[in-house]
């Protein structure tokens, strides 16, 4: 089928160095930008790429060379049913590598790993490790020991603690539930962070949180640019590494990056980041999100995201192609993923082409 599509111009010609042939790969969450970036990279590597979404068409599902499938179950509200539906599709299609893209999808498939046919590679850590990285309170302690700065924090262990918040000097602050996805199989919900300017607005936000959000972190807001370290680590080895700086966020006070540039990874950021990943015994892709404090110039840890990130295309365009072939060879236990660490040096010359350059991306 792939060869027929290729002859009709529906698929790109195989890359001359491709070693993946017609490897079948399934990517979840086709509405996400990260799913689109991964699908494009893997199709270009002559993989047979399938994408799932809850409805059709989806962003990644309409990309050239991709085969789209609908998975009706919601990974957030019905994780067991979602894993069963994805697992059935994986078995019917003969998938070799399954790549979950969002937090709910990763957790659902790890929690119900037996729903996925044996022998299918899932390039993510085990459930306990993934949950440890998703626990913001645990990450703060590990990050401090690894060499990161940590925001001034008050930990609220229950809704009753909200009335005890008196430290005005923390404001402006950020309210962070200990995890972004809370609850159990019987009912889960996704929670975000909230920015509060004073004690009154803080108590209003806390009052609206469900009991499962606790413990909640109340942290002094750090002023400075957002910088991220992106790593593919497997079996104690760094396979690929990249860094970027956020130039604009939505909302401006802090949120998703809508304009960013590649940067040369700061040695102190790399050292602290890899020390943190060693402490977690991390396997797979991960983003370590930081702020560079304007006052000190040091990196302050924000959170760890153990999945593909929305700006994945920037890393690919800058030359660090995480999905191809690094992620696939890693998932299959191959040594063909390459050796050493790859990064992009941040330079730009408008007259003469530089050896490496800064790539900027806006959405």
CA-to-CA separations, 70 to 60, 73, 101, in angstroms, rounded: 12, 9, 15
Q: Please, what's the largest Cα pairwise distance for the chain?
A: 69
Nearest to 148 by CA among 29, 295, 261, 293: 293
The pLDDT of residue 326: 66
DSSP state, residue 115: G
In whole angstroms, give the CA distance from residue 104 to residue 244: 25
User: Contact 221/196 with Cβ under 8 angstroms?
Assistant: no
What are the residues whose beta carbons fall under 8 Å from the beta carbon of 271, sequence distance 6 or more? 147
Q: What is the pLDDT of residues 148-207, one digit of tens each?
A: 999 999 999 887 787 777 766 788 999 999 999 998 766 788 999 999 998 889 888 998
Report the pLDDT averaged over residues 40-60.
95
**Number of residues written out for the chain:** 363
The pLDDT of residue 325: 64
The number of CA neighbours under 13 Å toward the Cβ of 307 is 25
The pLDDT of residue 359: 52
Q: Which of 1-10, 35-44, 111-120, 151-160 has the lowest mean pLDDT?
A: 1-10
Is the pLDDT at 347 greater than 60, yes or no?
Answer: no
Is the pLDDT at 20 greater than 90, yes or no?
Answer: no
The pLDDT of residue 358: 54
3-class DSSP state for residue 325? Answer: helix
Nearest to 229 by CA among 136, 125, 326, 341: 341
Q: What is the pLDDT of residues 113-137, one digit of tens each?
A: 999 999 999 999 999 999 999 999 9
Beta strand pairing call for 97-99 and 24-27: parallel
The pLDDT of residue 331: 64
Structural domains of the chain ordered from first start: 2-122 (3.40.50.20), 152-220 (3.30.1490), 226-362 (3.30.470.20)
The pLDDT of residue 161: 80
E strand map for 71-152? 97-99
In whole angstroms, give the CA distance from residue 32 to residue 29: 6
Q: What is the pLDDT of residues 221-273, one digit of tens each?
A: 999 999 999 999 998 999 999 999 999 888 777 778 888 999 999 999 999 99
Mean pLDDT (the chain, rounded): 85
DSSP state, residue 259: E
In whole angstroms, give the CA distance from residue 359 to residue 353: 13
CA-to-CA separations, 258 to 102, 246, 292, 361, in angstroms, rounded: 18, 8, 18, 8
Full strand arrangement of the beta sheet holding 256-262: 299-305, 284-292, 226-234, 237-250, 256-262, 360-362
């Amino acid at each position: 089928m792939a060869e027929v599509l290729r002859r009709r111009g529906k698929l790109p010609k195989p890359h001359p160095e491709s070693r993946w042939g017609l490897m079948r790969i399934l990517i979840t969450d086709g509405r996400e930008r990260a799913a689109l970036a991964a699908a494009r990279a893997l199709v270009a590597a002559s993989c047979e790429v399938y994408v799932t979404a809850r409805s059709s068409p989806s962003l990644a599902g309409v990309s050239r060379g991709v085969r789209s499938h609908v998975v009706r179950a919601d990974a957030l509200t019905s994780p067991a049913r979602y894993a069963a539906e994805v697992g059935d599709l994986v078995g019917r299609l003969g998938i070799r590598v399954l790549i979950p893209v969002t937090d709910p999808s990763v957790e659902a498939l790890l929690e119900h790993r037996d729903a996925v046919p044996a022998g299918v590679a899932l390039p993510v850590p085990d459930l306990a490790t993934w949950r440890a990285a998703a626990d913001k309170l645990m990450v703060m302690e590990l990050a401090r020991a690894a060499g990161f700065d940590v925001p001034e924090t008050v930990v609220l262990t229950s809704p009753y603690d909200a009335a005890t918040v008196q430290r005005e000097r923390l404001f402006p602050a950020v309210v962070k539930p200990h995890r972004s996805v809370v609850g159990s199989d019987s009912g889960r919900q996704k929670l975000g962070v909230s920015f509060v300017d004073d004690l009154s607005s803080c108590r209003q936000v806390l009052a609206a949180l469900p009991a499962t959000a606790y413990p909640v972190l109340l942290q002094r807001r750090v002023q400075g640019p957002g910088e991220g370290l992106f790593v593919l680590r497997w079996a104690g080895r760094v396979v690929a590494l990249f860094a970027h700086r956020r130039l604009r966020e939505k909302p401006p006070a802090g949120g998703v990056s809508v304009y960013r540039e590649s940067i040369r990874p700061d040695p102190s950021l790399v050292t602290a980041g890899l020390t943190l990943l060693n402490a977690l015994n991390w396997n797979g892709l991960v983003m370590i999100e930081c702020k560079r404090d304007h006052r000190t110039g040091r990196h302050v840890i924000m959170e760890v995201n153990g999945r593909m990130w929305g700006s994945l295309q920037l890393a690919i365009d800058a030359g660090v192609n995480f999905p191809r072939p690094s992620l696939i060879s890693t998932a299959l236990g191959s040594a063909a993923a390459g050796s050493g660490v790859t990064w992009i040096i941040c330079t730009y010359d408008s007259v003469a082409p530089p050896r490496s350059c800064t790539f900027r991306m806006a959405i």
